[in-house]
């Protein structure tokens, strides 16, 4: 069984430190589509057990009101990841984010451990979804095999800080150092039919720069963005939610294509734009995204 939420709306995915109970007790109030409960970089080495304890009780006792609960586990090169997985599954996390994924085998190793934990704790096998964080040049080059590695995997995400370190450069704010990784990852994700998420933007004093970056990654084809602060959520949702104008145009395209196809007409115009059957999937995606965002209640 694969979780029915594999294709759910995920425009925003906000990081929260599991080491700090105050941060994870009620983050649903901010309105992010997903929260990322972090057991990895945000947690000090001597606090891993305490963070897992906090995470388990939060997952079991807090009503997150429909917000997806993603847990970032420690890397496979650490002694922590197996116990991280057991706590995630026992607590009922929706998704496990695999840190530092470099090859398909990394995903399969985690999948085997997740399946074993589901059996151990009596959870339905297949309930726990996976996503892969790509943080290295090797991971970027292997993006397609990672995307196709498991039926549990709903998407991949770029981790820009570690990737640029591996690339032997730094985050510049221009995006030039991330352009190749972003393009390769979105192409791989679309080829495999999974989602793709951009890296965090850490300069909270530059909200204009953040908005420019979000508009750029949406144009590139990303599904959403990892976030570090609640202030960033509204901007992401505004940009990734179809406008009324886009919704009306998508409705027209779908209806016209359905009508013209029945008449044997292949090419026509909608609002002065040349349209053919190739526009159908894009228009339907706009309507599905609008419906999932809560701004469309039409019949398409």
Candidates 73, 12, 23, 41; CA nearest to 161 is: 41
CA dihedral 122, 82, 158, 1 (to 10 degrees): -20
| Mean pLDDT score, 44-66 | 94
Q: How many residues does the chain have?
A: 300
CA–CA separation, 82 vs 75, rounded Å?
Answer: 10
For 255-271, how does the pLDDT look when each residue is reduced to its tens digit (9 = 90+)?
A: 988 888 888 777 878 88
Whether the pLDDT of residue 2 is over 60: the answer is no
With CA atoms as reference, report the closest residue to 233 among 203, 217, 209, 211.
211
pLDDT band at 5 (very low <50, low <70, confident <90, very high): confident
Threshold 0.85, pTM exceeds:
yes
Per residue in 219-260, pLDDT tens? 999 999 999 999 999 999 999 999 999 999 999 999 988 888
Give residues with Cβ within 8 angstroms of 72, minimum separation 6. 15, 36, 37, 38, 39, 40, 97, 99, 133
Going from N- to C-terminal start, the domains of the chain cover 12-240, 244-293
CATH topology of domain 12-240: TIM Barrel (3.20.20)
Instruction: Report whether 72 belongs to an annotated binding site.
Output: yes
């Amino acid at each position: 069984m694969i979780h029915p939420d594999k294709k759910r709306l995920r425009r925003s995915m906000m990081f929260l430190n599991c080491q700090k109970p105050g941060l994870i007790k009620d983050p649903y109030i901010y309105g992010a589509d997903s929260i990322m409960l972090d057991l990895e970089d945000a947690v000090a080495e001597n606090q891993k057990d305490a963070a897992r304890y906090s995470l388990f009780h939060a997952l079991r006792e807090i009503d997150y009101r429909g917000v997806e609960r993603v847990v970032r586990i420690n890397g496979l090169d650490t002694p922590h990841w197996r116990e991280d997985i057991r706590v995630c599954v026992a607590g009922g996390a929706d998704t496990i984010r695999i840190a530092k994924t470099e090859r398909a085998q990394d995903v399969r190793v985690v999948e085997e451990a997740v399946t074993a934990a589901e059996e151990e704790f009596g959870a339905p096998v297949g309930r726990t979804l996976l996503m892969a964080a790509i943080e290295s040049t090797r991971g970027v080059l292997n993006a397609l095999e990672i995307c196709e590695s498991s039926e549990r995997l709903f998407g991949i995400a770029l981790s820009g800080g570690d990737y640029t370190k591996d690339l032997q450069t730094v985050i510049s704010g221009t995006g030039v150092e991330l352009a190749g990784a972003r393009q390769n990852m979105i192409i791989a994700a679309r080829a495999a039919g999974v989602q793709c998420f951009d890296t965090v933007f850490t300069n909270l004093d530059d909200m204009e720069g953040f908005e420019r970056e979000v508009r750029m990654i949406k144009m590139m084809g990303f599904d959403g963005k990892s976030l570090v602060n609640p202030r960033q959520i509204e901007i992401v949702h505004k940009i990734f939610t179809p406008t009324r104008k886009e919704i009306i145009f998508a409705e027209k395209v779908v209806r016209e294509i359905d009508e013209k196809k029945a008449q044997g007409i292949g090419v026509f115009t909608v609002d002065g734009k040349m349209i053919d059957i190739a526009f159908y999937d894009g228009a339907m995606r706009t309507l599905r995204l609008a419906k999932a965002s809560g701004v469309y209640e039409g019949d398409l």
